[in-house]
Amino acid sequence: MSGMSAGRSAMRMGPAELVQAAAMARRFYLEGKSKIQIAEEFGVSRFKVARVLETALERDLVRIEIRVPAELDAERSDALRARYGLRHAVVVESPAEAEETPDPENLGEVAADLLGELVNEGDVLGLAWGRSTIHMAAALDKLPPCTVVQLTGVYDAGTAERGSVEAVRRAAQVSGGDAHPIYAPMLLPDAATAAALRHQTGIARAFEYFDKVTVACVSIGSWEPGISTVHDMLSDEERSHYASLGVAAEMSAHLFDADGRRVGRDLGERCITVKADQLRRIPEVVAIAGGQRKAAAIDAVLRSGLVTSLVTDTSAADYLMTVGPTPRPALNRADPDGP
């Protein structure tokens, strides 16, 4: 009998203990005081404070809830970040009817909020062409003062006002910084024309900022019609040629096979775009891409080591969590093609 009473007594907290535990928990969880400060206030050791706080959790005196907006999937985000060794991964819950849609517009909205966290005053923000980056720029409502530079030419110079050029202007307007747009197509007929354009004053000035970019925002395309800007700009013969090289993904006019190795490097000579080596040196490269149709392409680009952070959706994330062997950490940004 005495043993049972002793056991029940050990499990039960008396009123004084309950009041003290509640007070310590309030100091720690609500007022932000340290365990040392609480120990000094109550005249006990910090180890006693730690035990009391632990008991308060066990006895349900304190309940801790981790809540994120319903559209964000925290569990998938953390798992995806760990699998690819990313600095940040944000997975957005997409409506079922939008699963087949590449880059739902809400990805851009979430990416805009992420950039608001990542960009610091004095940074140089680089924006590559892409529907997702255009959606992101349209959703921007806050940025610290920074310089904004365009990292690629545009898909169609005739749409510049509602495309990459406008995205750069919009970001610079929000930040109050300088804008350096590129008024030129992304893909030119030949290398000589591309080289001549790179030396034009406005374009050359933008190129001078490429090595100064601290945060970049890029899109990813899979090698199929309507999902890759570069694919859509090429002739049928050229598409077949690059397909024969095993291209699985495209980012900023750079082509990648399924293992993240760059292929078809000759294409870059005809393009107005940031170099892959320059992207690799940028401290933070955020890719915005989602949808089942882009999932394999996202995996390929992440394996290249050029991207440090990703904003995607649940349908793509589910594929990325199960495909192929575990990739090397993205933050180990060595070129998979070797030196």
Q: What percentage of the chain reaches a pLDDT higher than 90?
A: 52
pLDDT digits (tens, 9 = 90+) for 95-109: 665 555 566 778 888
Going by pLDDT thresholds of 50, 70 and 90, the confidence category of residue 160 is very low
pLDDT at 327 (0 to 100):
73
Q: Where are the domains of the chain?
A: 15-59, 72-322
Sign of the Cα pseudo-torsion (112, 114, 117, 123, in order): negative
pLDDT digits (tens, 9 = 90+) for 14-68: 667 788 888 898 888 888 889 999 999 888 999 999 999 988 888 888 877 655 5
pLDDT at 246 (0 to 100):
93
Alpha carbons 113 and 92: distance in angstroms, whole number:
13
- The CATH number of the structural domain formed by 72-322 is 3.40.50.1360
Residue 157 pLDDT greater than 60, yes or no? no
pLDDT at 302 (0 to 100):
95
> In the predicted model, what is the mean pLDDT of residues 174-202?
92
Structure tokens at 225: 């019609």
pLDDT at 32 (0 to 100):
86
pLDDT digits (tens, 9 = 90+) for 278-300: 999 999 999 999 988 899 999 99
Q: What percentage of the chain reaches a pLDDT higher than 70?
A: 86
pLDDT at 66 (0 to 100):
58
Alpha carbons 28 and 26: distance in angstroms, whole number:
6
Note whether 333 and 305 are within 8 A (CB): yes
Residue range 15-59 forms a domain whose CATH class is: mainly alpha
Same fold, 15-59 and 72-322: no
User: What is the pTM for the complete model shown?
Assistant: 0.76
Residue 335 backbone phi and psi in degrees, to 5: -70, 120
> Hey, what amino acid is at 214?
T
* Nearest by Cα to 312 from 295, 284, 288, 294: 288
Q: What is the DSSP string of 205-248?
A: HHHHTGGG-SEEEEE-EESSTTT-HHHHHS-HHHHHHHHHTT--
